[in-house]
Structure 1
Amino acid sequence: MKPSVLKNVLYGNSQLKNRTVFLILTGITFLIRFPFFFRDYIDRDESTFILLGQSLVDGYLPYTQLWDLKPPLTFAFFASIIYFFGKSFIAIRLFGVFLVTITAFYSYKISIRMTSSHVSLWAASFCVILLSLFGSLQGVMSEHICMAFFIPALYLVISKKGPAWFFLSGILIGISIMVKLNMAYPALLIGLYLCYGYFLRKKKVSIGGVISFGMGATTVVLLTILPYYLNGQVSVWWKSVILAPLEYAEARRSSIFKLAPPFLLIGILLYNCWKRRILSFKDRTSLLLFIAVCGVLFSFFKGGRINGHYLIQVYPMVIIFLSILIDQLVHQHNLSIPKLYLFVLLLLPIESYLEYVNIIQNKIERGTFFNGEGFSVPKYLKENNLDSNQILFLGYHIGYWNIGELPPTMASTHPSNICRDELYPFFDNPRPNSLAELHYIMEEVKPHTVVVRKGRSVFDKDEIEENEYINAYLAKHYKIEATVEKAEILQRLEGL
């Protein structure tokens, strides 16, 4: 793009083509996320998704060889990348760029129905930042996957008419649900809105559109059940996809004080948007955005938890309202805000700048851009001929993937799952609780090698009994073989 064109875009003096917007957003996303292509892992959940994706490539349905608390299309996404590109962190993270770009682009497409192209572009650009920085968002999370389907679906509901378009939007909504189950709540509210549109405002929505939307979503859900049905394992799908998340939500609820801040901030934003008529219940676009936000927030309330990466599911909608509100304030007070926007935009990706420095230093010191214990620990095991056939990663469990091994039990697929007793019945674990599981792993499986995070407790600090047991057992039966970066490699003492 020519500098003059870019200047016009930044200051709102030109209308952009969709292709140009997509290329701009792709470029921003790539530059922000590229240095993280070489990390072993960014979030432990991402590592678990990769392990289950590999298991699916190896011919095992999710929840039959390894187990985790996510719907099956999360693992299918990773499996499809592994199937075509092999064990490639770069491929996985590159597809993460596409996910974020798609989400931001369709947030732009929605936003432009409410405001100017330059405000919409700023909204989409900040959407990229919110989906890529601050915490563990540089990895590929299930929230990234689901929003790359949900936001285009929302755009189709807002902008298109006819049963075919509603069927397509239903399919996209169904995919988002089978990636993150809590998206069923905004999907339900959107469906109810469509029914309202048919019964009270028939010119807006046809009965065929309503039915097509529901059929599209239902089709996706049924297709995820089909392989389990063909293998006589429908109960596996039902317990793992439906019952386990419900039980987990009831058992792991946070206090109301932890839930309150994001609800309060978003509520204040929406109230101010309503006062300034940015949010109008007579405008189809802003109303559907509001419905989607309410649906996601209600799912957080029902689930009883809000982690940082959960907010990915609300950022693309909220940032549209926020950007329009800021634009109104700018014009009201005659502020020269575009220059400030640009400065803030350049300053925000500080994590990316630091990571660029990190990978260059790693290249100079170790001869590779790839960094992290998930690479260095397997390398140490190989170079020192240590037994990796019976290994337990209590930290850095992406290492299983890099050495081609499996966790010793289904419960240990994600190390934190060992301590989630409430989930054991849903994958028919032979042991009743976490202590029994740890006893089995350490005293019957007896892994030759154990990898832990140096200077950190093995499990969450609230898991007092589990930490006491594993610390005492490791101290008695294992010795420290080596410290590799922030990982300790322990070897079992002979005869024990």
Structure 2
Amino acid sequence: MLKKAIGFLDSLNSRLDWKTVFFVLFLVALFIRFPFFFRDYVDRDESTFIIMAQSWVDGHLPYTQLWDLKPPVTFLFFAGIIAVFGKSFIAIRLFGTLLVALTALFTYGMATRITSKKVGFWCAIFTVFFLSLFGSLQGVMSEHICTLFFVIALYLQLSKRGLWWSLVVGVLLGISVMSKLNMAYPMLTLGIYLLWAALKAQNFWKDLQHLIWMGIGFILLVTLTAVPYYFQGELATWWSSIFEAPLAYSQSKFHSIGKALPVVLSTLLLLGLGIGKKLIDRKSKEIQVLLLVILGVFVSFMQTGKVNGHYLIQLYPFLLILVAIAVSKLPPLKKNLKIVAGVLLVLTPMEAYLEYVNVINNKMEKGSFFNGEGIDVPNYIIENKLETQNIFFTEYHIGYWVLGETPPTKAATHPSNITRDKLFPFMDNPRTTGMEELRYIMEEIKPKTLVTRKRETIFDKKLLEFNAYIDAYLAQHYELVKTIDRGLVYQRLK
């Protein structure tokens, strides 16, 4: 039966148009991601994007009332959803599903320029898998946003001609970079390749014009993000928050090139074997472009000095095309191995299956599909009428959004930002160090309610001074009033 199902998909693919391919991809993405529509958060960054977006919807440009280390297009994506649909986890996650399906669709488009529709279709299916599973990818991450626009730009660059299309490609690349700044690296390697190709071409001036129009489109988009800051006299805030702060963060002592090397070297080794075995045609223009984009992404990983699971979203569409092409040139699987492969395919979305069970259990036990401490803790606070005006979340900070509150200070928007001294010069914050900020929150603002998580230390265990201070302060001035799963709710002593 499994073999027939896979065969049906293969035969169906030969007759699919783009609309039908997208419909299939969206259904697969929706099935995998749907149970996570009801989770409070999957990654803390997503919670921060939502809080920043809500501040924008309330009339405050990013980095002015609240602050985080991402370019503004990421916040704009979330702000647009909140402005139209209000405070809706479902709407945000549904648009995240749309991002994944569209990325897979344009990955399919690029793949079919190099290989068959059948291979391209399965490449797109696995793009949905890899952009939705294995870690914190079920949430809506900045990598989902930037990768979609980069994939569309690359597809248009490979398939369309004309100066106006080059302008559109430049704008799309600008949107990608202004969603996640490190996409400037693959954009740069792509630009170097196109310039090199133009120098070799007979119509050098014509090809150079395309590059110029791409540059114009990119600069236009970046400039547009600065316009609202210019009119509010906050241009310096725009520059320091978007460009200077990420550079300082990438040089943080917590990160080193060695942490990125295993992923980079192992992938490059596999690609080298594929090229050496002639499974990947390095003479193909499209494959050359994909290889250089992958190289650019790797350079960004090395510069950042770490590779979180969600960083790999930026790599998957381009790498999966090459893997799919290589696998398609291998000898066909024997019958028994096909059955094993089919079983593995069905088991791949195991995280989704488990989350379906979790959602149903939560509905039966607590009467709600929505689950997680970021929802249960705020519900407890509301039901027991605890003070929320100066509430402080060191964890589950999506609770600010659920409660309709804002973080106590700009630096506390993302809880970990408090501990990053190198970022304080770019926040336009009265305090200049993390310890100074934490003391100000605890001793001057004096939050009546504090929420943290049950674990060994409140902050990263390497931050001895932070943990020693807040542990002693909580012991002296707060009492634990409720434990909700791993969430701890403290009330300030009178």
Common topology (TM > 0.5): yes
Q: For residue 33 of structure 1, what is the aligned residue in structure 2? A: 33
Measured against aligned partners, the alpha-carbon deviations of 1:398-434 in whole angstroms (never above 9, x if no partner) come to 0000011010011110100000000000012221211
Task: Quickly say closer, same or farther: Cα 1:271–1:492, change in 2 above 3 A.
Answer: same
Matched, 1:423 2:423: yes
Q: Percent same amino acid among aligned pairs?
A: 50
| CA distance in 1 between partners of 2:22 and 2:279 (Å) | 25
Task: Quickly say closer, same or farther: Cα 1:455–1:303, change in 2 above 3 A.
Answer: closer
Q: 1:215: how far off?
A: 1.0
Measured against aligned partners, the alpha-carbon deviations of 1:256-296 in whole angstroms (never above 9, x if no partner) come to 43212111221122112212334434311101111110111
Q: For residue 403 of structure 1, what is the aligned residue in structure 2? A: 403
Q: For residue 194 of structure 2, what is the aligned residue in structure 1? A: 194
Q: For residue 215 of structure 1, what is the aligned residue in structure 2? A: 216
1:321 maps to amino acid: L
Q: 1:341: how far off?
A: 3.8
Q: 1:200: how far off?
A: 1.4
Q: For the Cα contact (< 8 Å) 1:162–1:208, is it kept in 2?
A: no
Q: For residue 289 of structure 2, what is the aligned residue in structure 1? A: 288
Write out aligned runs for 1:240-389 (5 A): 240-252=241-253, 254-331=255-332, 339-389=339-389
| CA distance in 2 between partners of 1:231 and 1:207 (Å) | 37
Q: For residue 451 of structure 1, what is the aligned residue in structure 2? A: 451
Matched, 1:174 2:167: no
Task: Quickly say closer, same or farther: Cα 1:11–1:347, change in 2 above 3 A.
Answer: farther
Q: For residue 206 of structure 1, what is the aligned residue in structure 2? A: 207
Q: For residue 234 of structure 1, what is the aligned residue in structure 2? A: 235
| CA distance in 2 between partners of 1:278 and 1:54 (Å) | 48
| CA distance in 2 between partners of 1:335 and 1:275 (Å) | 28
Measured against aligned partners, the alpha-carbon deviations of 1:347-406 in whole angstroms (never above 9, x if no partner) come to 011110000001001111111100011111111111111111110011100000001101
Measured against aligned partners, the alpha-carbon deviations of 1:409-461 in whole angstroms (never above 9, x if no partner) come to 11110100000000000012221211111110000000000001023421111
Measured against aligned partners, the alpha-carbon deviations of 1:184-238 in whole angstroms (never above 9, x if no partner) come to 1111121222222222114596233111111111111000011111111110011
Task: Quickly say closer, same or farther: Cα 1:215–1:277, change in 2 above 3 A.
Answer: farther
Matched, 1:46 2:71: no
Q: 1:253: how far off?
A: 5.3
Count the aligned residue pairs. 491
Q: For residue 393 of structure 1, what is the aligned residue in structure 2? A: 393
Task: Quickly say closer, same or farther: Cα 1:114–1:468, change in 2 above 3 A.
Answer: same
Q: For the Cα contact (< 8 Å) 2:166–2:211, is it kept in 1?
A: yes
| CA distance in 1 between partners of 2:162 and 2:345 (Å) | 39
Q: For the Cα contact (< 8 Å) 2:112–2:120, is it kept in 1?
A: yes
Normalising by structure 1, what TM-score? 0.95
Write out aligned runs for 1:17-32 (5 A): 17-32=17-32
Structure 1 portions without partners, runs of 5+: none
| CA distance in 2 between partners of 1:37 and 1:158 (Å) | 35
Q: For the Cα contact (< 8 Å) 1:252–1:305, is it kept in 2?
A: no
1:275 maps to amino acid: G
* Range moving further from structure 2, 257-266 or 24-33: 257-266
Partner of 1:166: helix, strand, or coil?
helix
| CA distance in 2 between partners of 1:138 and 1:26 (Å) | 14
Partner of 1:330: helix, strand, or coil?
coil
2:38 maps to amino acid: F
| CA distance in 1 between partners of 2:470 and 2:295 (Å) | 43
Q: For the Cα contact (< 8 Å) 1:421–1:432, is it kept in 2?
A: yes
| CA distance in 2 between partners of 1:13 and 1:305 (Å) | 38
Write out aligned runs for 1:119-130 (5 A): 119-130=119-130
Write out aligned runs for 1:62-77 (5 A): 62-77=62-77
| CA distance in 2 between partners of 1:447 and 1:245 (Å) | 30
Q: 1:322: how far off?
A: 1.1
1:293 maps to amino acid: I
Measured against aligned partners, the alpha-carbon deviations of 1:27-48 in whole angstroms (never above 9, x if no partner) come to 1100000000000111100000
Task: Quickly say closer, same or farther: Cα 1:360–1:62, change in 2 above 3 A.
Answer: same
Across the aligned residues of Structure 1 and Structure 2, the Cα RMSD in angstroms comes to 1.8
